[in-house]
Structure formats: structure tokens, C-alpha cells
Amino acid sequence: MDKKRGMFEIWGDIIEIKPLIISIFISVTLTMGAYFLAPPDSRVKQLFFGLMGAVLGFVISAFFIKPKRLITIEESRKG
């Protein structure tokens, strides 16, 4: 068993420490970066830019990080 991989259980599922740090960094940077790009006079635009940044960060993280789950498909038994 390779404890060095650094896998931990948080909030009901398993994470790996390095990807978690990278992913938090990407998401926060993009969210706040987008927020500061928005016109400063409009709260709505700021919120929207921020949310878009958060979604973008989520998509990028999801693309590069592999979920720590092993999925098998069961053949259905009649229930």
C-alpha cells in the first residue's frame, strides 16, 4: 500500500492532496481573475464574471484530474 500517494477522505468521498491543491488554485485564480476583469460599476456583471470563472475552473479541473473511484457496471438482476 502506497501511503505516499496522499489520498484522504473528505466530505464523503476520496481526494488526493496534490490535485486538490492544484484544483483549488486554478478555480480561485480563475474566479477572482474573472471577477476583477468585470466592469467595476456593475455588481451583476461582477457576479456573473466570477461565476463563469468558477465554472471554467471546474471544467478545467474535471478535465485534468482523475476521480478516485473504480466503477464497475453490474448486469441487472430482475427486482
According to the binding rule CB under 8 A, does residue 13 interact with another protein? Answer: yes
According to the binding rule CB under 8 A, does residue 8 interact with another protein? Answer: yes
Locate 43 and state its grid cell. Answer: 455588481
**Cα-Cα-Cα-Cα dihedral sign, residues 48, 21, 58, 60:** positive
Q: Minimum CB separation from another protein for residue 39, in Å?
A: 14
Backbone angles phi, psi at 53, to 5 degrees: -60, -40
Residues near another protein (CB under 8 A) are: 1-3, 6-17, 19-20, 23-24, 26-28, 30-32, 35, 43-44, 46-48, 50-51, 53-54, 57-58, 61-62, 65-79
